[in-house]
Amino acid sequence: MSKIHYISSKPLTYEIVENLVNNNYKLELSDEAVGLLTKCRDYLDNKMAEEHHAPIYGITTGFGSLCNRNISRDKITLLQKNLVMSHACSTGDELNPQIIKLILFLKAHALSLGHSGVQVITVQRILDLYNNDVLPIVYDRGSLGASGDLAPLSTFSFRC
């Protein structure tokens, strides 16, 4: 029988993370996390449905210096796809699979706090990858200096 860690808004401690890494836990979303994710996504969907809504950074606008550039509704999906593709470049040595699993766990935990607008299914897929050891190949140097998790989180190369 597998040990299960339920992702919730409970603060992470070093002991929790160490236990996950060393004791081969499976991850599942708690009811609380599903509720937080759903509430935030519903809010975003409602904002997007408003006919005359204010710009939403990175969703209906560009990023960085392009934040004042509006993105038409028919291009929003393309913007998100291009964002992921533009950050999927990295180089260097491959990270240890344990580190990659930790990255997946921490990203799932952060998203599950319900502040990003992602769908529940997106976080569930991260957990599926984690739980089934289907891990992206992640290199230790990314293409952008703004955030150390951009390349690992947009990687499309997987090892089984």
- Are residues 99 and 20 in contact, defined by beta-carbon separation less than 8 angstroms? no
Q: Please give the C-alpha separations between residue 107 and each of 82, 94, 121, 149, in angstroms, as whole numbers.
A: 20, 19, 14, 9
- Characterize the bridge pairing of strands 90-94 and 26-29: unpaired
User: Is 57 tagged catalytic?
Assistant: yes
Choose the catalytic residue: 6, 25, 43, 57.
57
Q: Please give the C-alpha separations between residue 83 and each of 4, 26, 97, in angstroms, as whole numbers.
A: 33, 30, 25
Active site residues: 57
